[in-house]
Amino acid sequence: MKSLLKEFEALRARFPAGFESSLVLPCLRRIQEERGYVADGDIEELAAFLGVPAIQVEEVLSFYTQFRRRPVGRWHLQVCRNVSCSMRGAEGLVGHLERRLGVAPGATTPDGRFTLSTVECLGSCGTAPALMLNDRYVENLTPESVDALLQELD
Amino acid sequence: MAGRQLLMNFPVTANSHTLAEYRARGGYTAIAKALREMKPQQITQEVVAAGLQGRGGASFPTGRKWQVVVPGDGQPHYLIANADEGEPGTFKDRWILENAPHLLVEGMLLTAYALDARHCFIYIRGEFDLPYRRIAGAVEEAYAARWLGEQIAGSGFSCDLIVYRGAGAYVAGEASGLISSLEGKKGYPRNRPPRLTVRGLYQRPTVVNNVESLANVTGIIRDGAAAFRAVGTEKSPGTRLISVSGHVNRPGVYEVELGFPWRRFIDEDCGGVLGGRAIKAVVPGGISSKVLTGAEIALLALSHEALWDVNSTLGSGGMIVIAEGTCMVHLLQIMLRFYHHESCGQCTPCRHGTGWMHRIVDRIVAGEGRPEDIERLYYVAKYNDGTTICGLGDAAGFAAAGILDKFRDEFEYCIEHKRSRYEGRIECLRS
Ligand SMILES: Cc1cc2nc3c(=O)[nH]c(=O)nc-3n(C[C@H](O)[C@H](O)[C@H](O)COP(=O)(O)O)c2cc1C
Ligand code: SF4
Ligand code: FES
């Protein structure tokens, strides 16, 4: 976290006075971007830096689905399985990915390349089915386009 | 095209999201005019006169919400654009964020001026990547051109705008949950009263409006309330961005003039149903709005009043078209799994009710339903209605009761024969 302190100071300056608590989410996001997940030590350090209780940081980490306490694979595939995506084939797609990767949702391949997850609506229902590949949306999926995507990823 | 347009009536090009293009199309003239010629109260009056209704879900009159905040009462006021867009079936705010971000920035400036708000926030869902980059880019451009910051356009009005990213929680889209989240905490919704316009962000008067509501403010001030009212119906002025998904040939975001015939919109604009099948049902405005049958929508107009008449709502504008042959039991199972997953757990009826309903429908789908299950679903749904802190609990009950009311026979069939009449099928792929 130390390397980010300068950036966090700049962020603090953009917010109105007294808004330190608001920085919990953006700071955790940056920590996770750097390390891939949020480690135990980060919690105490961030809480001390912002002057908020450590329990608040822990609660935030467990409340929001995007925060991780453990590393994931190099490629994180998060497949939407809400109504519109399921109506366009998402359930079959999850099964297809399970077979191709040999892991169930929530798990990482033994070589550490892929993590498969299912998520709720991504706000991409018009281009369903959709998934998130790390930060990027991939839409209008078919089993063939998913195979082609997996081919591209190292 | 489904009637006249107010938001999408400019061509989307490779650069339409940039400040230069927006300026070339007359952008930022409304705020310049307002700062020169209008008092804050006049902006609010204009929006009240326009009859703009919130586009986030509850359709609450936007101007009336603002009137609770008193400019110059000596305390800070805050304005927040709700860009959480988490209601399943909804992806229309994304269109504004990606293609017309300055329309939102200008609408927020006008609103901030009306509310005497020095600091504004855009709370955008954490998963959005391109929409985030586009709106963050627009904010940077606006700062560089001094449309944001100190003494805007040489006036005494100063305003800062911060883009704040969520981190994955549907309930953080609920206005008070959003405020908890923006305070850097769990996205727990709060009991009201006090209203957020009295005690909101850090206990200060706060207005939370949907992205599309705020984007409409720009046109209302630029062209006047009368011009806005000239579009749409008496009770539903203006247009709505409708996100269409499900079993239609051309899903996507459409701007629809309120009052436009519903069937014509689906048949002509959306290219009709996949494979030419009949419409079995339509989710009108996100899965939290009550489902309607194909027969019910046949003669209906797309307006707030027409939807209220049939006991549903245009909600978030997330329309899901469901073709004949789809298993409604399985569809409800997916909806209830979602509510169960997203319940924040503060209220007992919601925490237990969503899980209970989810488990019942799970077992019906698995062929283990019991005859009393239907009445039990109704019972749980009813106890969720009006007994919870936020609308998520009610919505889960509405979804269940809404589908049961209209497709009860499918549930009975599934319980009696231990399998779905449609083999659980909900897919309908592009041919
Ligand atoms: C569970 C839940 C989730 C919600 N999610 C959103 C959302 O993602 N975006 C939104 O604009 N409104 C959402 N709302 C509605 C907001 O609470 C609020 O009514 C709205 O943002 C106000 O804006 P408006 O008056 O301009 O419509 C949600 C409500 C509930 C109960
Ligand atoms: S209704 Fe449900 S989601 Fe809303 S506050 Fe209560 S428990 Fe949380
Ligand atoms: S249902 Fe998958 S993106 Fe909305």
| B3 is a domain residue | no
> Residue B294 maps to which CATH number?
3.10.20.600
Which residues of chain A does B252 touch, with a Cβ-Cβ cutoff of 8 Å?
Answer: 126
pLDDT at A2 (0 to 100): 84
| B367 is a domain residue | yes
For residues B189 and B124, membership in a common domain is answered with yes
pLDDT at B13 (0 to 100): 92
| B14 is a domain residue | no
Domain boundary among B323, B340, B364: B323
- Which of B343, B383, B387, B394 has the most ligand 2 atoms within 8 A of CB, as the residue to mutate? B343
Task: Please report, to the nearest 10 degrees, the dihedral formed by the alpha carbons of residues B373, B374, B378, B384 taken in order.
Answer: 40
For the entire predicted model, the pTM comes to 0.98
| Residue of B320, B94, B318 lying closest to B212 (CA atoms) | B94
| B11 is a domain residue | no
In tens, the pLDDT along A132-154 reads 999 999 999 999 999 999 999 98
CA B194 – CA B179 distance, rounded (Å): 14
Question: At B151, is the pLDDT very low, low, confident or very high (cuts 50, 70, 90)?
Answer: very high
For residues B278 and B348, membership in a common domain is answered with no
pLDDT at B385 (0 to 100): 74
> Residue B392 maps to which CATH number?
1.20.1440.230
Contact flag A15-B170 (C-beta cutoff 8 Å)? no
Which residues of chain A does B187 touch, with a Cβ-Cβ cutoff of 8 Å?
Answer: 63-64
| Residue of B36, B38, B212 lying closest to B108 (CA atoms) | B212
Contact flag A65-B167 (C-beta cutoff 8 Å)? yes
DSSP code for B298? T
Domain boundary among B201, B229, B257: B229
In tens, the pLDDT along B88-124 reads 999 999 999 999 999 999 999 999 999 999 999 999 9
User: Which residue ranges have their beta carbon within 6 Å of ligand 1?
Assistant: B 54-58, 60, 62, 82, 84-87, 170-171, 173-175, 208-210, 213, 390-392
> Number of folded domains in chain B?
3
In tens, the pLDDT along B238-290 reads 999 999 999 999 999 999 999 999 999 999 999 999 999 999 999 999 999 99
Averaged pLDDT, B344-372: 96
For residues B135 and B222, membership in a common domain is answered with yes
Complex-level ipTM: 0.98
pLDDT at B277 (0 to 100): 95
pLDDT of residue B1 exceeding 90, the answer is no
Averaged pLDDT, B214-230: 98
Domain boundary among B292, B323, B354: B323
- Say if CB B211 and CB B128 are below 8 A apart: no
Question: At A18, is the pLDDT very low, low, confident or very high (cuts 50, 70, 90)?
Answer: very high
For residues B304 and B340, membership in a common domain is answered with no
Averaged pLDDT, A16-43: 97
Domains of chain A: 2-63 (1.10.10), 75-152 (3.40.30.10)
Contact flag B182-A66 (C-beta cutoff 8 Å)? no
Residue with tokens 């952008």: B27
For residues B213 and B243, membership in a common domain is answered with no
| B4 is a domain residue | no
Distance from CA of B345 to the nearest CA of A (A): 11
In tens, the pLDDT along B370-410 reads 999 999 999 999 887 778 999 999 999 999 999 999 999 99
For residues B42 and B183, membership in a common domain is answered with yes
pLDDT of residue B82 exceeding 70, the answer is yes
Compute the mean pLDDT over every residue in chain A, rounded to the nearest whole number: 97
For residues B344 and B296, membership in a common domain is answered with no
pLDDT of residue B431 exceeding 70, the answer is no
For residues B343 and B294, membership in a common domain is answered with no
**Tally of CB atoms within 10 A around A87:** 27
CA A135 – CA B133 distance, rounded (Å): 12
Which residues of chain B does A23 touch, with a Cβ-Cβ cutoff of 8 Å?
Answer: 184
Averaged pLDDT, B187-210: 97
pLDDT at B366 (0 to 100): 96
| B372 is a domain residue | yes
CA B338 – CA B361 distance, rounded (Å): 13
| B428 is a domain residue | no
> Residue B219 maps to which CATH number?
3.40.50.11540
pLDDT at A75 (0 to 100): 98
| B93 is a domain residue | yes
- The encoded tokens of residue B174 equal 């609920």
Beta bridge partners of B237: B232
% chain B with pLDDT above 70: 100
Beta bridge partners of B19: none
In tens, the pLDDT along B290-339 reads 999 999 999 999 999 999 999 999 999 999 999 999 999 999 999 999 99
Range in A2-6, A20-24, B333-337 with the lowest mean pLDDT: A2-6
pLDDT of residue B430 exceeding 90, the answer is no
Beta bridge partners of A75: A114
CA B366 – CA B414 distance, rounded (Å): 9
DSSP code for B51? T
DSSP string, A39-92: -HHHHHHHHHHHT--HHHHHHHHHHSTT--SS---SEEEEEE-SHHHHTTTHHH
Interface residue of A28, A87, A122 to substitute, partner B, most B CBs within 10 Å: A87
> Which contiguous run of DSSP H or E holds residue B335?
helix B328-342
Compute the mean pLDDT over every residue in chain B, rounded to the nearest whole number: 96
Distance B87 CA to ligand 2 centre (A): 15
For residues B296 and B401, membership in a common domain is answered with no
Distance B363 CA to ligand 1 centre (A): 32
For residues B296 and B336, membership in a common domain is answered with no
CA B350 – CA B381 distance, rounded (Å): 9
Averaged pLDDT, B193-197: 97
For residues B218 and B190, membership in a common domain is answered with yes
For residues B307 and B391, membership in a common domain is answered with no
Domain that holds residue B407: 328-417
Contact flag A126-B326 (C-beta cutoff 8 Å)? no
